[in-house]
Amino acid sequence: MNEIPHGTVQEQTFYEQVGGEETFRRLVHRFYEGVAGDPLLRPMYPEEDLGPAEERLALFLMQYWGGPRTYSENRGHPRLRMRHAPFAVDRAAHDAWLTHMRAAVDELGLTEEQDRTLWTYLTYAAASMVNRAD
């Protein structure tokens, strides 16, 4: 057990607050179940197997929220806009992505504040990924 000296404030990352790796893996797994059945999004993913894409997104989100830095150890700097450039992320793709993400977030059982924190980020990030006009 870690000893926490009296009078110190225990600082927790958002990653830890929401339940760590298990929570992010659940989120991304549920999200990719949605992608797998989506006629617009599924063909955008170049690999037959969505498993590796699921792993990359899970590791990225874990790192972003203060968890292990495995994503960057494997993939380098995220540069997400650049990495999405080959894919036609238009308004429809953006909306579909967020629809599946919303369903996945809903199943996490987060507090209202945690939900708002995560969702605000995801909606801003999704908007910033749009790279094609309608």
Q: Which residues bind ligand HEM (CB under 6 A)?
A: 41, 44-45, 53, 56-57, 60, 75, 80, 83-84, 87, 89, 93-94, 97, 125-126, 129
CB of 44 vs ligand HEM, minimal distance in Å: 4
Give CA–CA dist 93/8, Å, rounded.
Answer: 46
* Cβ proximity to ligand HEM, 45 vs 119, nearer residue: 45
Give buried/exposed letters for 46-83 (b at 16+ CB in 10 A, else e). eeeeeeeebbbbbbbbbbbbebeeebeeeeeeeeeeee
* Cβ proximity to ligand HEM, 41 vs 110, nearer residue: 41
